[in-house]
């Protein structure tokens, strides 16, 4: 007899031996208390901690208008959508949200999915499958959801060096100009915090007859005077074929989308398994996402506060010898370089200092690049930054972690 439980237990033991076994901090993020959260350390023990790794970058998940839109729509339309989009699950909230995202990216059409992951996986697999003899060229640091989509497309694949337009051009030049090609990349890379050379990649796509697919998940709501993302803020939306985003990071809700030319979005709507065969977002979620986009389109104050805080955090870290990856974005990575030590320092930060930062290990980053990925929000104070930096320095010293010279 096959002992299935043992086989899977062995898989878990491998993760534990490599210090990559994931443990989740059980938190209560109470409205009005951010960036504090209550950490349920054990059944009887609750501790107040400061969250330093949230992707709710602007605190919109607690914004009164967003929560209000959610509650109002839930009261009116209920908790669920009632089905897939095809079978009674298309609600006016979805249709409105699709128009809103299309408008935000200055595209003809939008399509909403259950998550950003689903949007990438479903769209890339369908796009690749739909183009006969297609080749997909992707940046080496794209998100797992894009990798899965590309895999499922069964297209021939090329991976270009991260943000390296020369390497991309070399690969494009090696391919028949008349062969369909998709270039898949990300605007703000979530683990390094660097930003893609969108204009150069767009120019190459024109030169080599390629189609472009850009993930703006970590940029939406934050970049541009209306939160329209990096491509939009640079006036490059029309240079990219499909722009993908989500509602789960700076918009503080959940769900994903693509925007692009009407026929291409309609093709994905009509062919993508990951869109067709799944229940649509609850209307209340769509209403909350729509409200969040509206708030961030009209009011820049929390974006401004975010950037002020990001600058302060980066400046404070620069005064230390901690190995911070210099980034142009709001994401601030500090490299530990070892999975065990990365877990150890996050444990100490949480238990001794009440600072919650999740360790980032392989496969999210390459082995030897394990890190803390710090994210600050408008709700953090300068005093919290000072305390964080002091705690990092103290724990770095205790564990004798590598510093910069
Ligand atoms: N794309 C990127 C670059 C991401 O970092 C993530 C999630 O972290 C996703 C897509 C998936 O988005 P979602 O969390 O909405 O599924």
pLDDT in tens, 43-64: 899 999 999 999 999 999 999 9
Could you identify the atom of ligand 1 that is nearest to the CA of residue 247? 15
Domain end position, chosen among 298, 318, 341? 298
Phi, psi of 215 (to 5 degrees): -95, 120
Residue 281: which of 22, 26, 58, 90 has the closest Cα? 90
pLDDT, one tens digit per residue, over 233-261 is: 999 999 999 999 999 999 999 999 999 99
- Residues 75 and 115 occupy one common structural domain: yes
Q: What percent of the chain has pLDDT over 90?
A: 98
Residue located nearest, by CA, to atom 3 of ligand 1: 143
Cβ neighbour number for residue 294 with a 10 Å cutoff? 14
Domain end position, chosen among 264, 298, 332? 298
Task: State which residues form the domain around 341.
Answer: 21-51+300-398
- Residues 213 and 67 occupy one common structural domain: yes
- Residues 294 and 146 occupy one common structural domain: yes
Cβ neighbour number for residue 181 with a 10 Å cutoff? 25
Q: Catalytic: 249?
A: yes
pLDDT, one tens digit per residue, over 162-213 is: 999 999 999 999 999 999 999 999 999 999 999 999 999 999 999 999 999 9
- Residues 254 and 322 occupy one common structural domain: no
Q: How many domains does the structure of the chain reveal?
A: 2
- Residues 390 and 289 occupy one common structural domain: no
From its phi and psi, is residue 78 left (phi > 0), alpha (psi between -120 and 50) or beta? Answer: left
Report CA(219)–ligand 1 centroid distance (Å): 11
Catalytic residue among 107, 171, 181, 249: 249
Q: Rg for the chain (alpha carbons), in Å?
A: 22
Cβ neighbour number for residue 397 with a 10 Å cutoff? 10
Ligand 1 binding pocket (C-beta < 6 A) is: 115-117, 120, 143, 145, 186, 190, 215, 217-218, 246, 248, 256
Residue 223 per-residue DSSP state: S
The answer to whether position 210 is within a domain reads: yes
CATH number at residue 226: 3.40.640.10
Report d(CA 103, CA 97) in Å as an integer: 10
């Amino acid at each position: 007899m096959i002992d299935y439980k043992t086989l899977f237990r062995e898989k878990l033991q491998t993760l534990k031996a490599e210090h990559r076994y994931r443990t989740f901090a059980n938190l209560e993020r109470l409205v009005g208390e951010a960036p504090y959260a209550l950490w349920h350390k054990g059944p009887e023990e609750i501790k107040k901690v400061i969250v330093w790794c949230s992707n709710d970058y602007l605190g919109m998940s607690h914004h009164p208008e967003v929560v209000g839109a959610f509650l109002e729509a839930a009261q009116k339309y209920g908790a669920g959508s009632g089905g897939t989009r095809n079978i009674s699950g298309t609600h006016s909230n979805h249709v409105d949200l699709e128009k809103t995202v299309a408008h935000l990216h200055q595209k003809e059409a939008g399509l909403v999915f259950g998550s950003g992951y689903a949007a990438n996986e479903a769209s890339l697999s369908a796009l690749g499958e739909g183009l006969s003899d297609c080749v997909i060229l992707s940046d080496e640091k794209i998100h797992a959801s894009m990798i899965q989509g590309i895999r499922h497309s069964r297209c021939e694949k090329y991976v270009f060096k991260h943000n390296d337009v020369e390497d991309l051009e070399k690969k494009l030049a090696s391919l028949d100009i008349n062969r369909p090609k998709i270039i898949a990349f990300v605007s703000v890379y979530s683990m390094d915090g660097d930003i893609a050379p969108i204009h150069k990649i767009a120019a190459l796509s024109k030169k080599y007859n390629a189609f472009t697919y850009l993930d703006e998940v970590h940029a939406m709501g934050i970049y541009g005077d209306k939160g329209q993302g990096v491509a939009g803020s640079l006036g490059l939306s029309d240079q990219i074929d499909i722009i993908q985003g989500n509602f789960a990071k700076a918009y503080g809700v959940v769900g994903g989308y693509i925007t692009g030319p009407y026929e291409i979005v309609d093709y994905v709507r009509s062919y993508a398994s990951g869109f067709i065969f799944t229940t649509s977002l609850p209307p209340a979620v769509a209403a909350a996402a729509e409200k969040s986009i509206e708030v961030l389109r009209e009011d820049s104050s929390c974006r401004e506060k975010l950037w002020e805080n990001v600058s302060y955090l980066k400046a404070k870290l620069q005064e230390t010898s901690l190995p911070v990856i210099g980034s142009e974005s709001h994401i601030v990575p500090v490299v530990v370089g070892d999975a065990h030590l990365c877990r150890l320092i996050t444990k100490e930060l949480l238990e001794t200092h009440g600072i919650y930062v999740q360790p980032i290990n392989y496969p999210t980053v390459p082995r030897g690049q394990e890190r803390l990925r710090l994210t600050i929000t408008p709700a953090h104070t300068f005093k919290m930054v000072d305390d964080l930096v002091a705690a990092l320095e103290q724990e770095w010293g205790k564990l004798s972690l590598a510093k910069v010279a």
